[in-house]
A and B are shown apart, each in its own frame.
With several copies, the nearest count.
Chain A
Amino acid sequence: MDSGMGKPGSPADRKGSLVFSRKVGENCRHIAVELSEATAPSAPGQFFLVREWGVFDPLLGRPLASTVSGNCRLEFLFQVTGRGTSRLASLTPGAALELRGPCGNGFPAPVGEKLLLVAGTLGIAPFLGAVSALGEKVDVTAVLGVPGRGWEPFTEWCEDKIPGIRLNSDDGSLGRRGDPVEDSLTLVGPGRELWGCGPEAMLRELGRAYEKGCEKVLVSLERRMGCGIGGCLSCSITTPSGMKRVCVDGPVFDWREVFGEPLRN
């Protein structure tokens, strides 16, 4: 049952107030929230269910990885994909929020000294905290993939936060042409740990890192959520070792726990 991932701080419900909400390109927002009371510190990969306070439409909190978490302050980076996130994006400073978290198991401290982070667009969010938290101790390389033109404000923002981040775009208009998995496969090898976050198809592809001698591949999954704490089974996934809840058994899983044994050629 215990996945051995980064130990969770116990989640709590907190009221918060929006400090700022900045556009990062057309469709993304960087927001900061001041909490009424501190939560447990959150590890990279842990998340919060974020919603507007006091209204029931939209009803559910949206799971967002905290990119920075201080004592009473949290930051998030999110994309507007639907009703809840567009609502969150429309809020102005001072707006009252409700947050549940930190939820789930984050990424555990890397065992080796070399870490490769692979992100598809907003999959970069959980890594933003990791990069600063790991600091000098670990040699971190980050690889990011975006569709292409139009994503400049987003990639510039990421480059600012993670100097040296390697850019990939489908059409080659930003950074390398290609996808972040291919790019990352050129870098992995024995002794390097790999963390991935992004579309599920991308995460599955990361299993190819095992062929390159990489021994530890961790991935952060997404599912629609209800409770966020393991009670409602909305976020269940079928894995080789049975049903798992993304919210408490994950969202960070060992690649093999989710996708089974990698094919080796």
Chain B
Amino acid sequence: MSPFGTSLRTEVGGVDLDTPVIVASGVWPMDPALWPEGSLDGVGAVCSKGLTLKPRDGNPGCRIVETYSGVLNSIGLQNSGVDHFVAQELSAFSFAGRPIIVNIAFETLDDLVETVEVLKGSALKISALELNVSCPNVTRGGMTWGIHPESLESAVTAARRAWNGILWVKLSPQAPSVGEFAELSQGCGAEAVVVGNTWLGMAIDNERERPFFENVFAGLSGPAVFPLALRAVWEAAGAVEIPVIGCGGISRPQDALSMILAGASAVEVGTALFVDSRLPASICRELERHLREKGLSSVGDLVGRARR
């Protein structure tokens, strides 16, 4: 049971959440036994690591570099493949007792459909599918799906046909217009959009005079990107009727509140968990405090309030 009041309950894109705070994909163990003390408090749902049809070792070489108030990562979708996920990882994962959002990535539409088919065979509940069209760290597939309108359309349509459960689309902030891409996802039948993923950046090792990452580019996340993500959320929320889930740089409780005031129905937290495993609980307290202060009764009342 959530230690937080019913005022934080909300339904977002077809998923019932005790709190609007979701653990973002790829940053936290799927096995709750590995979670630090107290870190499950306030968590409304958990996203899986990005899954692919086949197991992947991920990228060679350096995978993480710290930047000013941020991190660049180039994990490259290391995962054990969807079969292993359904057969092994999902049951431990379910122990968290929170709705599970399965994040999937793909190189081809056939991959995508096949991956969905495997997930359909799962006996354990999958609350939503999060279609990752925005991973900047793979040379084939990944972000390229999310920065061209036609490819986004084909991917969301294919996922929509293959999956009769809830479908979320995790958009790329590299898209030329986040609002337009959110609308497109809505048009293709997504129940919610997640805005967004990491931002394309890079780092250079001056001594060796070459890029730190084998793939040259990597994805920037963490506090640094918060103002950019907030703007992207504002744009998306102005463009669609379906819920927008805000993601990017949320690092303090106030940031989550800002995202919600900007129009997000829920938030995902990622990198900040590296430095504060109790952030979800702190966010919940901040939301409750703000509701009380403004005399409001439900977190839903806060969504988009800064747009009035």
Given contacts A12-B38, A57-B69, A243-B58, contact A231 B223 (CB under 8 A): no
A224 interface hit (Cβ, 8 Å): yes
What chain B residues lie within 8 Å of A187 (beta carbons)?
none
Min CB gap A132→B, angstroms: 27
Q: Is the pair B63, A56 in contact by a Cβ cutoff of 8 Å?
A: no
Q: Is the pair B71, A59 in contact by a Cβ cutoff of 8 Å?
A: yes
Q: Which of A57-91 contact B (CB under 8 A)?
A: 57-61, 83-84
Q: Is the pair B62, A224 in contact by a Cβ cutoff of 8 Å?
A: yes
Given contacts A13-B278, A61-B274, contact A232 B69 (CB under 8 A): no
* Neighbour of A58 across the interface among B38, B57, B66, CB < 8 A: B66
Q: Is the pair A12, B65 in contact by a Cβ cutoff of 8 Å?
A: no
Q: Is the pair B64, A229 in contact by a Cβ cutoff of 8 Å?
A: no
Q: Is the pair A226, B69 in contact by a Cβ cutoff of 8 Å?
A: no
Number of A-B contacts defined by CB within 8 Å: 109
A216 interface hit (Cβ, 8 Å): no
What chain A residues lie within 8 Å of B57 (beta carbons)?
238, 243
Q: Is the pair B63, A233 in contact by a Cβ cutoff of 8 Å?
A: yes
What chain B residues lie within 8 Å of A229 (beta carbons)?
28-29, 34-36
B186 interface hit (Cβ, 8 Å): no
0 or 1 for each of B61-102: is its CB under 8 Å from A? (1 = yes): 011111111110101001000000000000000000000000
What chain B residues lie within 8 Å of A236 (beta carbons)?
58, 63, 75, 78
Q: Is the pair A100, B36 in contact by a Cβ cutoff of 8 Å?
A: yes
Min CB gap B211→A, angstroms: 15
Given contacts A98-B275, A238-B57, contact A59 B75 (CB under 8 A): no
Q: Is the pair A61, B62 in contact by a Cβ cutoff of 8 Å?
A: no
B258 interface hit (Cβ, 8 Å): no
Task: Give the nearest-CB partner of A10 in chain B.
Answer: B37
Task: Give the nearest-CB partner of B37 in chain A.
Answer: A12
What chain B residues lie within 8 Å of A56 (beta carbons)?
68-69, 222-223, 251, 275
Min CB gap A262→B, angstroms: 24
Q: Which of B48-67 contact A (CB under 8 A)?
A: 49, 57-58, 60, 62-67
Q: Is the pair A230, B68 in contact by a Cβ cutoff of 8 Å?
A: no
Q: Is the pair B28, A226 in contact by a Cβ cutoff of 8 Å?
A: no
B214 interface hit (Cβ, 8 Å): no
Q: Is the pair B277, A13 in contact by a Cβ cutoff of 8 Å?
A: yes
* Neighbour of B26 across the interface among A13, A228, A232, CB < 8 A: A232
B188 interface hit (Cβ, 8 Å): no
What chain B residues lie within 8 Å of A235 (beta carbons)?
63
Given contacts A224-B62, A227-B273, A232-B26, contact A59 B70 (CB under 8 A): yes
Min CB gap A218→B, angstroms: 22
Min CB gap B52→A, angstroms: 13
Min CB gap B69→A, angstroms: 4
Alpha-carbon distance between A243 and B278 when the two chains are bound, in angstroms: 28
Q: Is the pair A230, B73 in contact by a Cβ cutoff of 8 Å?
A: no
What chain A residues lie within 8 Å of B37 (beta carbons)?
10-13
What chain B residues lie within 8 Å of A243 (beta carbons)?
57-58, 78
The dominant DSSP class at the B interface is loop
What chain B residues lie within 8 Å of A227 (beta carbons)?
27-29, 273-274
B276 interface hit (Cβ, 8 Å): yes
Task: Give the nearest-CB partner of A224 in chain B.
Answer: B64
B241 interface hit (Cβ, 8 Å): no
Q: Is the pair B36, A13 in contact by a Cβ cutoff of 8 Å?
A: yes
What chain A residues lie within 8 Å of B223 (beta carbons)?
56-57, 59
B31 interface hit (Cβ, 8 Å): yes
Alpha-carbon distance between A6 and B62 when the two chains are bound, in angstroms: 27
Q: Is the pair A233, B273 in contact by a Cβ cutoff of 8 Å?
A: no
What chain B residues lie within 8 Å of A116 (beta carbons)?
none
Q: Is the pair B71, A60 in contact by a Cβ cutoff of 8 Å?
A: yes
* Neighbour of B64 across the interface among A13, A226, A230, A248, CB < 8 A: A226
* Neighbour of B34 across the interface among A51, A226, A231, A233, CB < 8 A: A231
Alpha-carbon distance between A254 and B294 when the two chains are bound, in angstroms: 40
A234 interface hit (Cβ, 8 Å): yes
Alpha-carbon distance between A233 and B28 when the two chains are bound, in angstroms: 9
Alpha-carbon distance between A224 and B31 when the two chains are bound, in angstroms: 22
What chain B residues lie within 8 Å of A248 (beta carbons)?
29, 34
A130 interface hit (Cβ, 8 Å): no
Alpha-carbon distance between A224 and B72 when the two chains are bound, in angstroms: 12
A221 interface hit (Cβ, 8 Å): no
0 or 1 for each of B147-190: is its CB under 8 Å from A? (1 = yes): 00000000000000000000000000000000000000000000
**Cross-chain pairs A/B with CB under 8 angstroms, 7 sampled:** A57-B69, A59-B222, A224-B65, A225-B64, A226-B274, A234-B64, A243-B58
* B positions within 8 Å CB-CB of A: 26-31, 34-39, 49, 57-58, 60, 62-71, 73, 75, 78, 222-223, 251, 271, 273-278
**Given A236-B75, A238-B57; 10 other pairs, CB 8 A cutoff:** A11-B37, A12-B36, A12-B37, A56-B275, A57-B223, A229-B29, A229-B36, A231-B273, A232-B64, A243-B78
9 closest cross-chain pairs (CB), A and B: A12-B37, A234-B64, A231-B28, A231-B29, A56-B223, A56-B69, A230-B29, A57-B69, A234-B63
